[in-house]
Amino acid sequence: MIEKSPDYGPEELMAVVISREVRDQETVGVGMSSPVPAAGCILAEQLQAPQANIIILGSEEYYPFPAGSSELHFLAQRGELDLFFLSGLQIDRRGNINLHVIGDYEAPNLRLPGAYGSAMLYYMAHRVILFRTEHTRRTFVEKVDFITAPGITPEKVYREGGPTLVVTPKALLAWDKEAKEWGLSAIHPGSSLAEVKENTGFSLRMAEPLISTPPPTARELMVLRTAVREKLQRIYPEFAEKKIRNF
Amino acid sequence: MYSMVQAGSMGVPFVAVRGLLGSDILTHRPDLRVVENPFQETEPVVVAQPIRPEVAVFHAIRADRFGNALIPGGMRDDLMMARAGRWVVVTTEEIVEKEISGEGTGGHTFLPAVDVDQVALAPFGAHPGNCGLHYAHDPAHIREYLEAAQEEGTFQAYLEKYIYGLRNHQEYVTLSGLRSQGERGSGA
């Protein structure tokens, strides 16, 4: 059988998967350089979460505060942020993320911009969804080179939330609170269990039964490519133009 | 970081910050320490030293002779940063006769004179960045900078061309071929 190539791109798929996680009425934050979650949140607003409070840094429309991005930071620290999105150049089995260096800290192969609040946000947002447009062994490692923000909380430290999901173009990983590591929750259309295992640098716990991510519906894609694309063009014009198809 | 700048703007000796425990940031930053929460014994919390820059510089679309200034919109934490700074310099596209007030700022951030120590006229002072509706960022110049910054030799040549080799800001404006078009209309 010849497999038909999907009529949507990986970023579109990820945006749809993310949108399904946003609940109506909740307060959702999207940080800088996060076009995929921004698309997902706007899509959710157009569908099942019209009353969600969506805060997107870098947007005029989705920015309800008089002052700057410190507003989102302190809102989260007050424990009032329900959902936030983080990424990491590396993400490991124990939920640690690395936004600092690849290689040795003193003599790094690559120096990244750093935490920018994520070491607080990962603690204080009620749910954090990690997203990464690359699902490879260099991203999903057994242990990160530098822990920018930890998945596991040291004893007696106050934490509102923490890791819940990782969204990639191949799969959805879910945080196992008991085992304190990632489990494979769903495999996206076009990918397979073997492919996910081969591209993940640590062993994944298996959810029973393992499910296939329902493909984007015609309605989800239509709304994503019309209303969402139009709003996204004012925040991430290049991304909207290149990664979200014109309906 | 926001907490540390805000603490600087408040003049307090340290600030408590949520999260961070278990992060490698703590092993590399002497200005972050773990202490016991005095109000919730046995709970470890991170405390941080305030950030108080020696000098904080802002670029305004206009300023007056008293030091009142309007900073173009966008990231609007400038007031907090100005208060954290020990010496605050405002460079500006223009200096206006009429005193600027905090009312009707048209979406711009108002820096009151009490928070500003010095004003300098510097048209195109944000170049190659953008400045409100006066001019957009200059992608060609930014690309030139990024390429030059790859290696020490080319970076030194860049500095020589745009900074050390010039006598003043006007020479930079002329060299970069920048011409004032005033504030463009609000049409995006």
For the stretch A68-118, pLDDT in tens is 788 999 999 999 999 999 999 999 999 999 999 999 999 999 999 888 899
- The interface pTM score, or ipTM, of the predicted complex is 0.87
Tell me: do B58 and B118 sit in the same domain: yes
Residue B64 sits in the same domain as residue B95: yes
CA distance A97 to chain B (A): 9
Write out pLDDT tens, residues B144-163: 999 999 999 999 999 999 99
Number of domains in chain A: 1
Residues with Cβ < 8 Å from A6, sequence gap 6 or more?
A13, A189, A190, A215
pLDDT band at B187 (very low <50, low <70, confident <90, very high): very low
Residue A5 lies in a domain: no
> CB–CB of B43 and A146 under 8 A?
no
Query: Measured between beta carbons, which residues in chain B are less than 8 angstroms from residue A119?
Result: 19-20, 23, 25
B70/chain A closest Cα distance in angstroms? 14
* CA B136, chain centre distance (Å): 17
pLDDT at A55: 96
Show which of B103, B122, B141 is a domain's final residue: B122
The low-confidence residues of chain A, meaning pLDDT below 70, are 1-5
**Percent of chain B predicted with pLDDT > 90:** 79
Q: Across all residues in chain B, what is the average pLDDT?
A: 91
**Model pTM score:** 0.88
- Residues B2/A119, Cβ–Cβ less than 8 Å: no
Whether B75 shows a pLDDT value over 60: the answer reads no
Look at residue A130 and tell me if it is in a domain: yes
State how many domains chain B has.
3
Q: Report whether pLDDT(B31) > 60.
A: yes
In this complex, how many residue pairs, one in chain A and one in chain B, have their CB atoms less than 8 Å apart?
A: 79
Are B36 and B57 in a shared domain? no
Helix (H, G, I), strand (E, B) or coil at B6: helix
Listed residues B122, B150, B167: the one ending a domain: B122
Residue B132 pLDDT > 90: no
Task: Give a yes or no: residue A156 inside a domain.
Answer: yes
Domain extent, residue A65, equals: 10-243
Please indicate, yes or no, whether residues B24 and B68 belong to a single structural domain of this protein: no
Closest Cα in chain A, distance from residue B5 (Å): 10
Chain A segment 114-133 residues within 8 A of B by beta carbon are 115-117, 119-124
- Tokens of residue A1, six digits: 């059988």
Per-residue confidence (pLDDT) for residue B186, from 0 to 100: 42
Owning domain of residue B90:
53-122
Q: Measured between beta carbons, which residues in chain A are less than 8 angstroms from residue B2?
A: 69-70, 73-74, 117
Say whether both B110 and B157 belong to one domain. no
Note whether residue A3 is domain-resident: no
At residue A4, the pLDDT reads 57
DSSP string, chain A: -PPPPPSS-HHHHHHHHHHTTPPTT-EEEE-TT-HHHHHHHHHHHHTT-TT-EEEETT-STT---SS-THHHHHHHHTT---EEEE--SEEETTS-EE-SEEE-SSSEEEE----TTHHHHHHHSSEEEEE-S--STTTEESS-SS-SB-SSPPTT---S--EEEEE-SSEEEEEETTTTEEEEEEE-TT--HHHHHHT-SSPPEEEEEEEEPPPPPHHHHHHIIIIIHHHHTTT-HHHHHHHS---
**pLDDT value of position B74:** 54
Residue A136 lies in a domain: yes
Residues B9-38 have a mean pLDDT of 95
Structure tokens, B73: 């919109």
- Candidates B122, B100, B96, B121; CA nearest to B109 is B100
The band of B188, judged by pLDDT with boundaries at 50, 70 and 90, is very low
Domain with residue A99: its CATH number is 3.40.1080.10
Q: In A, which residues are within 8 Å of B18 by CB distance? A: 77, 120, 123-124, 158
Query: Helix count (H) and strand count (E) of chain B?
Result: 6, 10
Is B61 in the same domain as B28? no
A78-87, A150-159, B56-65, B174-183: least confident range: B174-183
In a domain, A104, yes or no: yes
Same domain, B35 and B84: no
